Amino acid sequence: MNEAFYKNLHAEGLLSDESFGKITPPRPPADFSVQWEVRGLLYTGVLLLTGGLGLLVYENIDTIGHKIVLVCIAAIFVACFAYCYKTSLPFSPQKVKAPNTYSDYVLLLGSVSLVSFIGYWQYQYHIFGTSYGLATFIPMLVLFFIAYYFDHLGILSMAIANLAIWMGVSVTPKALLLQNDYDSGTIINIYIVLAVLLIIAAFLSQHYNFKKHFKFTYLHYGVHVGYIALLAGYFHYYDNFLAAIYLAALVLLSGLVYIDAIKNKSFYFLLLMTIYSYIALSSLVIRVLFQVGDIGAVYLVLLYFIGSAVGLIFLLISFNKKLKAL
Amino acid sequence: MIAYNETWLANIRVQNILKKELSRGSITEDEFSAILAKYPVLFYSPAFFVRIGLFILTCVIVLFADGLLSLVFMSTGLIEASGWPIFLGLLSYASLEFIIATKNHFRSGVDDALLFLAALQLTVGVAILLYGGAENYLALSIIVFPLCLFFTIRFSDMLMAAFCCCAFFSTVFFGLEKIGSLGLNVMPFVLMAVSAGAYWLLLKYKNQARLVNYANCLVVAQTVCLLTLYAAGNYYIVQTLSDQLNGTSKPIAFGMIFWAWTMILPLVYLAFGIKNKDAIRLRTCLFLIAAAVLTFRTYYHLLPVDVMLILGGAAILAIAYAITKYLKMPRYGFTLEDGDDVDLMDNLRVESLIVAQTFSQPTTAHPQEGVKFGGGDFGGGGSSANF
């Protein structure tokens, strides 16, 4: 903005003499932040390096010798953890800032190689025998420990994914969408247990003020998994009385998320709550209307969607106003 | 010309600049709020997640309303007419103008959705009307270009600007294809010249006062031009296209020029990005360097993939480490401190979600299946998908 504009503001009395003096002389522009570029580079580097190592081991597994591979992987993660342990700030239940830009990625490299180390060891030497549960349980515990000790949200997400793997399901958004393994009632219920665990973890983090900033990650996964599992349960038992229970649980979850979102002013969770509840409500309405079963029902369904979406727009706008007013 | 209230658009710019001054400590809170009151913005442009929600819901409304209309008029046979999608598109466009004029929506999700749907419906409608759905990409490009240009000018929308640029270049591309073998032979050079010319024009006119409302669109357009400029001379793209269009598979003429183009241009972009401290150029060129490496890798297998991944990863880590060391103190106007645009990223914890996605492959969910090296959490699958 040019000088004349500031002069104008000054003349109108909107800028004090002091501020005007600070603004008008030509100053060097603010420093250009390359933080995200560097982070992107570090992330790509870790991704390529671990991927390349994995492939190298995979292709030469018969020639390298298992002990050498294990020692190499161990050397990597020991070095990474030693570095992080040395440089990181002391543990605190609050948020701890990383000592520098790249330490997060050193830790990531260490954790990924540690997990592969355990996996490789188990594959080759069966350290956990045939108790595969243990083989996924140990890495999960280690990852949770690392996430809490060094305060790393990415590794917390990895730990949550490992928790899901240990329970026999997958939790990353892509897998949730692509692997339609919602066919059996057992798996659906495992997902629900997982969601309950995650949501409880979220509330405990906040209530005891222990790594409070981890709450978002727990709640994010918990809410998504919970809603998707409840909806899947509803459709799985569509003609069964159990469907009503899943629907009731969904209403309960919505209430819970709503209260928490209002309390913490999080529009993200309000949006999730609205959209998932809308899906449930719409499926119910369609179910009822299709009992009618002629062309009139189609008209009614179309009218319902137009009307309800308009209503939801006003609802979202009023939610937004409500959150701002708090 | 522009649909939105121009005074408020100007006030948005004032507010943004003063917000920066506030964060730099040049002005006080009181002064800031006094200036805000003097230069108000009465648009309805809610926060990011509200925008997403409104976008989805508006799409739902438009789709079902169109469905209802089609159902009502089904018996009359009107909807079989090719003009029907155009009619629906005009309806969306009218509601867009209405919403902006009466409710002051600006980037609220509602206007975004209506604009997108209107453009889509009109394009489909005109294409069906003129060509009966036959594949004629030249005609389609010629239709899309002025349509998107109009929408860009009217609504200053970045997505429309990108579509507009793409349509322009594809018009050139398919036009040359129509000419025949001469056109095919000169195609890369013509596209290079056209995209460079377009970029130069955009650069020349971007600081004009009457284009002040289109700053974002111009940035998008410039980026598309730069990408096209690179793609026009990329060895892999030129080779593949010439094979496809000629139906042959012989090495292309002037191979060295294209190789030089593939390898050197990203570095040129990098140099300019650093010199001008331009985040978008900088990110574009990082992406293009990866493209150059991949192109080289497609034709010359100097190293096996695994060694290459390890070396590449180590090299990238080393470069990133060197940059962090070098920028420990801000130098030459570069810093590693948080910039202005981290808020949203931080809000969503985007990074942690990406880490979870790429380093926790679903295949690892079944270690008991005994795949060769299946037990670990190595991002083998992830890296190949991302590399």
- Domain-by-domain residue ranges, chain B? 306-336
B385 in A contact zone (CB under 8 Å): no
pLDDT score of B345 = 47
> What tokens does B219 get?
């940035």
pLDDT score of A280 = 92
Q: Which residue of B has its CA nearest to A300?
A: B68
B168 has a pLDDT exceeding 50? yes
pLDDT score of B134 = 64
A185 in B contact zone (CB under 8 Å): no
Q: Which residue of A has its CA nearest to B23?
A: A30
Q: Which residue of B has its CA nearest to A62?
A: B372
Q: Which residue of B has its CA nearest to A272?
A: B53
What is the b/e burial string over B282-291, where b = at least 16 CB atoms within 10 angstroms of the residue's CB?
A: bebbbebbbb
Q: Which residues of B touch A100 (CB under 8 A)?
A: 324
B346 has a pLDDT exceeding 70? no
When CB atoms are compared, the residue of A22, A57, A179 closest to B362 is A179
CA distance A40 to B345: 13
The backbone torsions φ and ψ at residue A100, rounded to the nearest 5 degrees and listed phi first, read -155, 175
- Residues pairing with B44 in the sheet: B105
Q: What is the DSSP letter of B105?
A: B
The residue of A27, A33, A128 whose CB has the most chain B CBs within 10 angstroms, and thus the best one to mutate to test that interface, is A33
Nearest chain A Cα distance for residue B290, angstroms: 11
B339 has a pLDDT exceeding 70? no
The residue of A2, A8, A14, A106 whose CB has the most chain B CBs within 10 angstroms, and thus the best one to mutate to test that interface, is A14
Nearest chain B Cα distance for residue A72, angstroms: 14
Nearest CA to B47 out of A289, A158, A324, A12 is that of: A324
B352 in A contact zone (CB under 8 Å): yes
Are the beta carbons of B47 and A320 separated by less than 8 Å? yes
Nearest chain A Cα distance for residue B42, angstroms: 15
When CB atoms are compared, the residue of A48, A158, A172 closest to B362 is A172
> What tokens does A303 get?
């009218």
Are the beta carbons of B53 and A271 separated by less than 8 Å? yes
CA distance A68 to A205: 41
CA distance A223 to A229: 10
Give the mean pLDDT of B70-88: 80
Are the beta carbons of A31 and B377 separated by less than 8 Å? no
Are the beta carbons of B351 and A43 separated by less than 8 Å? yes
CA distance A123 to B376: 9
Q: Which residues of B touch A33 (CB under 8 A)?
A: 334-340
pTM for the full predicted model: 0.82
pLDDT score of B139 = 83
3-state DSSP call for residue A26?
A: coil
Q: Which residues of B touch A51 (CB under 8 A)?
A: 309, 313, 378-380, 382-384, 387
Nearest CA to A116 out of B386, B360, B385 is that of: B360
Alpha carbon A42 to its chain centroid, in Å, reads 21
pLDDT digit of tens for each residue in chain A (326 aa)?
566 677 777 777 777 766 776 666 666 666 777 777 777 788 888 888 888 777 777 777 667 677 777 888 888 888 888 888 888 777 777 777 777 777 888 888 888 888 888 877 777 777 776 666 777 788 888 899 888 888 888 889 889 888 888 887 655 555 655 555 556 777 888 888 899 999 999 999 888 888 888 888 899 999 998 998 899 888 888 888 888 889 999 999 999 999 999 888 888 899 999 999 999 999 988 888 888 777 778 888 889 999 999 999 999 888 888 888 87
B14 has a pLDDT exceeding 90? no
Give me the torsion for CA of A280, A283, A288, A291, rounded to 10°.
Answer: -160
Is A44 buried (19+), middle (13-18) or exposed (0-12) by CB count in 10 A?
buried
pLDDT score of B372 = 33
CA distance A135 to A143: 13
Give me the torsion for CA of B146, B151, B157, B159, rounded to 10°.
Answer: -50
Are the beta carbons of A54 and B21 separated by less than 8 Å? no
> Lowest-pLDDT range, A105-114, A163-172, B314-323, B356-365?
B356-365
Ordered alpha helix ranges (H), chain B: 6-24, 29-38, 48-72, 83-103, 110-131, 137-155, 158-179, 181-205, 215-233, 235-246, 255-276, 279-299, 305-326, 343-348, 350-359, 380-386
Contact B333, B340 (CB under 8 A): no
Residues in chain B: 387
When CB atoms are compared, the residue of B31, B52, B283 closest to A16 is B31
pLDDT score of B367 = 34
pLDDT score of B249 = 64
CB count within 10 Å of CB A275 equals 16
- pLDDT (tens digit per residue) in B86-101: 899 999 999 999 999 8
Q: Which of residues 95-154 of B touch A (CB under 8 A)?
A: 110
Q: Which residues contact B384 (CB under 8 A, 6 or more apart)?
A: A51
B205 in A contact zone (CB under 8 Å): no
Beta-carbon pairs below 8 A across chains A and B: 316
Per the listing, tokens 């009632």 go with A185
Q: Which residues of B touch A45 (CB under 8 A)?
A: 313-317, 320
Radius of gyration of chain A (CA): 26
Q: Which of residues 129-158 of A touch B (CB under 8 A)?
A: 132, 135-136, 139, 153-158
B115 has a pLDDT exceeding 90? yes
Strands A32-33 and B334-335: parallel
Q: What is the mean pLDDT of chain B?
A: 78
When CB atoms are compared, the residue of B68, B352, B364 closest to A217 is B352
B38 in A contact zone (CB under 8 Å): yes
Q: Which residues of A touch B321 (CB under 8 A)?
A: 102
B327 has a pLDDT exceeding 80? no
Q: Which residues of B touch A178 (CB under 8 A)?
A: 362
pLDDT score of A29 = 67
**What's the pLDDT band for B133 if we cut at 50, 70, 90?**
low
CA distance A3 to A186: 69
Are the beta carbons of A31 and B337 separated by less than 8 Å? yes
B184 has a pLDDT exceeding 80? no
pLDDT score of B366 = 35
Are the beta carbons of B356 and A169 separated by less than 8 Å? no
When CB atoms are compared, the residue of B310, B330, B375 closest to A52 is B310
Query: Who wins on pLDDT, B197 or B284?
Result: B197
Q: Which residues of B touch A187 (CB under 8 A)?
A: none
